[in-house]
Structure 1
Amino acid sequence: MPGPKTLLFVADPLEAFKIAKDTTFSMMREAQRRGHRIAACEPRHLVWRSGGPVQAMVRDIELTGGGPYDWFRETGSAMRALKEFDAVLMRKDPPFDPEYFYATHLLQQAERDGARVFNSPRALRDHPEKLAIMEFPQFVSPTLVTRDPEAVRRFHAEHGEIILKPLDGMGGMGIFRVGPDGLNLGSITETLNGQGTTTLMVQKFVPAIAQGDKRVLVIAGRPVPFSLARIPQGSEIRGNLAAGGKGVAQPLSARDLEIANALGPVLAARGLLLVGLDVIGDVLTEINVTSPTCFQEITQQTGFDVPAMFVDALEAALA
């Protein structure tokens, strides 16, 4: 690809990055290795004044190769229009709260100004990470989305052992398992649905969680050949790394490939350059689009260079 590009990462504060495992850091490192210039801002720095383009107070940075507290050097800062960058990468971690929602609207206006934004702001809004699986029922376990406690009770009576989760949770927060005895089902439902004011998701329990909640990365419609199985530890039912799960990289199974190959081109065509599919056993449980992770864990354990595959795809999109 001719010439270096200038890339703006919209992300969490740089000082909070845990570079030993951070995926956005690995993207930056690979991009800089290829000669691209790196800049960063936070969603709170986005500004849109009537009659003008969307701008942000941007930090130009260079990665130093240093440790966790001196991994970058700021080389300048200025208010700049997002359309001045060759690519804007939205890498703000969940939750998808009102401020994230508003940021997607500002980023969509930046697209109208002429910016190239990855993942597409519209696609981020159109694919809530829990609800997005409902478009692909052939790959999911029995699932119910409701705020009606009686519907939850009927679903439990039908399936015996279930998982309940909030639609806006992240990192395994707020996930409950209820066994055939229904112990605490009413209390858990009330907690999650806010006495009938909040919608929740209920799914048939998948015992294969014991072998891990697999993160299958899909880049520009193509699956990374290895997943990261997040395996629950001790008495936990949650495999999320944030909840103490152990990450073990492994080749994609035939079913993983089937799901990724079916969804990948569809999601890529909607502007989702990077997607993280969560698969337990043979079923799809979540479609992550906001800030998919696990690049470093897969690369370190298998030798497959996930950041290189991502930057290849980004360069191809900008060509």
Structure 2
Amino acid sequence: MTIKLGVVMDPIADINYKKDTTLAMLWAAQARDWQLFYMEQKDLYLRDGDARAAMSPLAVFHDPEAWYDLKDAEDQPLAELDVILMRKDPPFDNEYIYSTYILEDAERKGTLIVNRCQGLRDSNEKVFATQFPQCCPPLLVSREINRLKAFYREHKDVIFKPLDGMGGSSIFRAQEGDPNVSVILETLTQHGQQSIMAQRYIPEIIDGDKRILTINGEVVPYCLARVPLAGELRGNLAAGGTGRPQPLSDRDRWIAEQVAPFLRERGILFAGLDIIGDYLTEINVTSPTCIREIDAGYDLDIAGNLMDCIAGELNKRS
């Protein structure tokens, strides 16, 4: 029986054809003759306790000029799908949470959601990493400005960042004697109304932050080092960083193996760990990227491996 796969994502017309990870997943699913259905958040809804969506049959192509074709949307129960990829990019706001509530109805009725809705809600990408203090640099999560300033005075060179950002947005470095610390903290915390993270600066960022991928708790043996532009502290590709595929170090693998069992327990089939130097900084569970760059560096098929994992999970249910 053909597997029906739905995807919830940002507008497919606006993706970066050369780099998009969701597109790689869709290619891999289509290569297995799975039926594809496309949805955006606005297409999801609940009616009388039934999760439904206006979903468009989708075909994808290896063509930078025309990489997709959508047929007319059909209104169907989400539970008609075997699997749904939740690939909506952050921000992780109330609308994102509401979408997981809708998807969770289909999950209860037997549809596999990747990643599991409860796992998405419980795994803030910055705070989740703090559950592994043996892997992390000194850090603080707080909205209390005096406490954040005390952490800054203790470590003298600190990164301040919001808990719900992505792509390196709103990240500030404050070195000893920085006259802007107060305004940075007032802005990020909204004058003490919003919690943020303070993290001791890791100088190895000049060599890039490393994105490590896991599939159902299994660690991909290669990663992507995202090297910042000269004079920049953010390695994120969205912030202009350059990707460099490379093998995992022993420390990289050790960190990933600390985290992997917890990802599996939470139903996080696909995750991306961010490591700077010897330290874990984030665990990305909403829409991890970098499949295409790592594949290209080592002739891998990470998306195909993920689809094989999904097929295995579905077989367990049949």
Shorter-chain TM range is over 0.9
The correspondence of residues 238-277 of structure 1 with structure 2, limited to 5 A, is 238-277=234-273
The alpha carbon displacement at 1:181 in A equals: 1.6
- Is the 1:156–1:182 contact (alpha carbons within 8 Å) kept by the matching residues of 2? no
Q: 1: CA distance between counterparts of 2:286 and 2:238?
A: 16
CA contact (8 A) 2:86 2:113 kept: yes
Match of 1:205 in 2: 201
Indicate whether 1:56 and 2:27 are aligned: no
Say whether residues 1:14 and 2:2 are aligned partners: no
> What are the Cα deviations for residues 64-98 of structure 1, in whole angstroms up to 9, with x where unaligned?
33324x21122342001111111011011111011
> Could you tell me how far apart the structure 2 residues matched to 1:272 and 1:73 are?
29
Q: Give distance in 2, aligned partners of 1:65 and 1:208.
A: 37
1:18-29, aligned counterparts within 5 Å?
Answer: 18-29=16-27
Shift of 1:36: 1.0
Sequence identity of aligned pairs in percent? Answer: 43
Task: Kindly provide the CA deviation profile for residues 7-33 of structure 1, in whole angstroms up to 9, marking residues without a partner as x.
Answer: 000111121122211000000001111
Count of residues in Structure 1 that have an aligned counterpart in Structure 2: 315
Matched, 1:232 2:238: no
> 1:34 maps to what in 2?
32
**What is the aligned partner in structure 1 of residue 67 from structure 2?**
71
Task: Give the TM-score normalised by structure 2.
Answer: 0.97
Of 167, 181, 190 in structure 2, the residue corresponding to residue 194 of structure 1 is 190
Give the TM-score of the pair, scaled to structure 1.
Answer: 0.96
Q: What residue is the counterpart of 1:107 in the other structure?
A: 103
1:141-180 mapped onto 2 (5 Å cutoff): 141-180=137-176
Q: How far apart, in 2, do the equivalents of 1:75 and 1:146 lie?
A: 48
Taking the aligned partners of 1:166 and 1:65, their CA distance within structure 2 comes to: 37
Q: Is the 8 A contact 1:166 1:199 kept in 2?
A: yes
- Structure 2 residues without counterparts, runs of 5 or longer: none
* Structure 1 residue 311 displacement after superposition: 1.2
More displaced 10-residue stretch of structure 1: 210-219 or 305-314 = 305-314
Letter paired with 2:39: C
Q: Secondary structure at the match of 2:225?
A: strand
Kindly state the Cα deviation for residue 119 of structure 1 after the two structures are TM-superposed. 0.2
Deviations 1:20-68 (A, max 9, x none): 11000000001111111111101111110124x2000000011233324
Give the one of 109, 114, 118 matched to 1:118. 114
Compute the displacement of 1:316 (Å): 1.2
Counterpart CA distance in 1 for 2:177 and 2:265 is 45
For residue 289 of structure 2, the aligned residue among 255, 272, 293 is 293
* Residue 137 of structure 1 pairs with residue 133 of structure 2: yes
Which residue is equivalent to 2:277?
Answer: 281
* Alpha carbons 2:27, 2:61 under 8 Å: kept: no
Contact 2:235 2:242 in 1 (8 A): yes
CA contact (8 A) 2:161 2:188 kept: yes
User: Per-residue displacement from partner, 1:151-196 (whole Å, max 9, x unpaired)?
Assistant: 1111011111000001111100000001122331111111101111
CA apart distance, 1:109: 1.7
Contact 1:83 1:116 in 2 (8 A): no
For the residue of structure 2 that corresponds to 1:277, the secondary structure is strand
- Within 2, Cα distance between the matches of 1:103 and 1:74? 22
Distance 1:22 1:65 in 2: 12
- Residue aligning to 1:98: 94
Over 3 Å off, 4+ runs: none
Amino acid across the alignment from 1:17: I
Q: Work out the CA distance in 2 between the residues paired with 1:45 and 1:25.
A: 19
Distance 1:296 1:11 in 2: 17
Measured against aligned partners, the alpha-carbon deviations of 1:235-261 in whole angstroms (never above 9, x if no partner) come to 100001010000101000101100111
- The amino acid across from 1:35 in the alignment is D
Q: Is the 8 A contact 1:212 1:231 kept in 2?
A: yes
Verify the 8 A CA contact 1:61 1:76 in the aligned structure 2.
Answer: no
The separation in 2 between residues aligned to 1:179 and 1:65, in whole angstroms, is 46
Q: Which amino acid aligns with 2:267?
A: G
- Bigger Cα displacement from structure 2, 280-289 vs 303-312: 303-312
Task: Write the distance in 1 (CA, Å) between the matches of 2:206 and 2:61.
Answer: 40
